[in-house]
Amino acid sequence: MQFHVEDVFVGKTFDDFSIEPQLGVVEHRKNIQLKTRFSKNIELNLPLVASNMDTVTGPKMCIALAQNGGIGILPRSGAISINLQTEWAREVKRAENFIIRDPYTILESQSVGEARKNMKEKGVGTLLVVSEKKELVGMVTERDTMLCLNETEPLTDWMQKVTNGNLRFIKNPVTSIEEAANELKKYRVSKLPIIDGLTFKILGLITAKDIARLLKHKWANKDKEGRLRVGAAIGATGDYMERASELIKAGVDVIVMDMAHARNKAVTVKAIENFRKSFESFELVCGNVATFEGAEFLKDLGVQGIKVGIGSGHGCLTRIKTGVGVPQIQAVRAVWHALKDSDIPIISDGGIRQTGHISMALAVGASSVMVGSILAGTEEALGQFIQDPLTGARKKEYRGMTSPQAKLEANRSEDLPSNIEGKSENIPYRGSVTGILKAIQQDLQSMVSYCGENDLEKARLKLAKDPTKFLIPLSLAATQESYHR
């Protein structure tokens, strides 16, 4: 028998409902936890995912999302090489660690000029100096060489040395942020190498700057080693297996197999089977689907998360061009019914124009939401800056991944692109994304409070179990009763 979603949700989307407030139970909203999951084994402290769009999510956006509890998904396309995508992933994983496990090094036989060049290329201010046997012999920073006018001078004349006790280091393992902070305080230094006591081989580096960042971002989304979490997208044909292999080597936490229509027995089945043969149980999210049957199809293929949404994105023209799609609340609710007895989280992808829409997606069954347009135009977004020649106003490019511009760049061909289902526009520059993320966090904490719970997961599960009990269908007049939606 074919499944049918509840009648109240058929043809409905986020602006069609409002959540009825419940008896409040918290004194201060700022302490409300927003913990949820992106996939079976990837937790979030903010139910927000930066979309794998090439004008939205690069390493800076991924870092900002993870620092605030969410996760970013690095995009893939013909214009984004495997090397570039994996380098982005490494940049995110190196951004915050209480121990840098693989710090940059330089040989003691090299010059000050070579050290400066390495620091500039790698975007760092410190290099550990090693012997030919890879043993720690010293450390050099930008400050150490600031007064050196001759770049050919030996590095050993300017570095902090192990031999004369000028360089502090430790031999004991460090297992927590608190231990790392205490070690730095004990030696009154800002950088502290960790070495193997027998071989003098480098095991890691602690820096005060990293520890301070970690202590500042109490909501940060971290892996077991204290590194920021990041995901990356692959396709289901072409170089997808090679791309997945290199991304996994680079340390990504989750792979997102991204397709416009993932319920496809000719493509998806083979792609997931190939992925599992090579990468076994590695965390895999797949999408997009928008129906009960589509979710069951992916569930049976053994994915750890399902991305939901066809035609609802801000930069998407699928419904206009093809007449195909499902309103987003109907789609999420249908998928929830397919997965309610499983442990597979739902990522609602598309249709989010304001924070209240995030609340509505969570209320009908999503565990997190994927967003693009509300992050576009920010400092961290990948889109290029564009300045209005008349007004001087700064804008940033934002485009769907099936827009003509994206397809032309990806195909690197003068031929007219086909299957255009996306658009491009310029978004006013909005400054750093951090302020937007903080505002979303506060709005969601308020939503949880209004729902009569003290953490997001309790509110989400209560609402999703029986949303008809808590969601009020709105008339056209009701949508315009307060601030126009």
Which CATH number is 186's domain given?
A: 3.10.580.10
pLDDT in tens, 394-419: 888 887 655 555 545 555 555 555 66
The reply to whether 92 and 30 lie within a common domain is yes
In a domain, 302, yes or no: yes
169 within 8 A of 144, measured Cβ to Cβ: no
Cα separation, 102 vs 68, in Å, equals 25
CA-only gyration radius of the chain, Å: 25
Looking at the fold, whether 41 and 189 belong to one and the same domain comes out as no
Number of domains in the chain: 2
Find tokens 């410190």 and name the residue. Answer: 126
List all residues 6 or more positions away from 86 whose beta carbon is below 8 Å from its beta carbon: 246, 247, 249, 250
Q: Are residues 287 and 430 in the same domain?
A: yes
Domain carrying residue 309: 7-96+219-479
Answer yes or no: is 1 within a domain: no
Verify that 181 and 236 share a domain, yes or no.
no
> Are 98 and 180 spatial neighbours (Cβ–Cβ below 8 Å)?
yes
- Asked if 131 and 24 sit in the same domain, the reply is no
Residue 484 belongs to some domain of the structure? no
Catalytic pick from 62, 148, 286, 316?
Answer: 316
Per-position pLDDT tens, the chain of length 485: 578 899 999 999 999 999 999 999 999 999 899 999 999 999 999 999 999 999 999 999 999 999 999 999 999 988 899 999 999 999 999 887 778 888 999 999 999 999 999 999 988 899 999 999 999 999 999 999 999 999 999 999 999 998 887 898 998 778 777 888 888 988 889 899 999 888 889 999 998 888 887 777 788 999 988 889 999 999 999 999 999 999 999 999 999 999 999 999 999 999 999 999 999 999 999 999 999 999 999 999 999 999 999 988 777 788 788 889 999 999 999 999 999 999 999 999 999 999 999 999 999 999 999 999 999 999 999 988 888 888 888 888 887 655 555 545 555 555 555 665 556 678 889 999 999 999 999 999 999 999 999 999 999 999 999 999 999 999 988 888 876 65
Tokens 């693989």 found at: 102
Whether residues 286 and 424 share a domain: the answer is: yes
Closest Cα partner for 381 from 123, 44, 47, 62? 62
Residue 446 lies in a domain: yes
Last residue of a domain, one of 193, 216, 239: 216
| Whether residue 316 lies in the annotated active site | yes
> 137 and 148 share a domain?
yes
Q: Answer yes or no: do 204 and 297 share one domain.
A: no
pLDDT of residue 478: 87
Measured in degrees and rounded to the nearest 5, phi and psi for residue 415 equal: -70, 145
Query: Nearest Cα to 376, choosing from 430, 309, 434?
Result: 430
Residue 453 belongs to domain with CATH number = 3.20.20.70
Confidence (pLDDT) at 483? 67
Give backbone dihedrals phi and psi of 108, rounded to 5 degrees, phi first.
-65, -20
Q: Are residues 277 and 385 in the same domain?
A: yes
Inside any domain, residue 233: yes
Residues 288 and 339 in one domain: yes
Residue at 225: amino acid letter: E
Per the CB < 8 A criterion, the answer to whether 330 and 12 are in contact is yes
Q: Which two tokens stand for residue 397?
A: 């490019």
Pairing relationship of beta strands 368-371 and 471-473 according to DSSP bridges: unpaired
Per the domain annotation, does 421 fall within a domain? Answer: yes
Same domain, 128 and 92: no
Query: Which residue, 239, 288, 244, is CA-closest to 264?
Result: 288
- Domain boundary (201, 216, 231) is at 216
Query: Does residue 485 lie within any of the structural domains?
Result: no
Answer whether residue 362 is part of any domain: yes
Assigned token pair, 438: 């903080």
**Per-residue pLDDT at 25:** 95
Q: Are residues 80 and 178 in the same domain?
A: no
Angle, nearest 10°, between helix axes 433-450 and 355-363? 50
The answer to whether 29 and 445 have CB atoms below 8 angstroms apart is yes
**Tell me, what's the pLDDT at 110?**
95
> What is the C-alpha to C-alpha distance for residues 145 and 104, in angstroms, rounded to an integer?
17
Instruction: Give the pLDDT of residue 89.
Output: 98
Residue that is last in its domain, among 216, 241, 273 = 216
Element (H, E) at 231: strand 231-234
Phi and psi at 399, nearest 5°, equal: -150, 150
CA torsion 351-353-356-357 (nearest 10°) is 0
CA proximity to 72, closest of 462, 292, 315, 375: 375
How many CA atoms lie less than 13 Å away from 337 in the CB half-sphere? 18
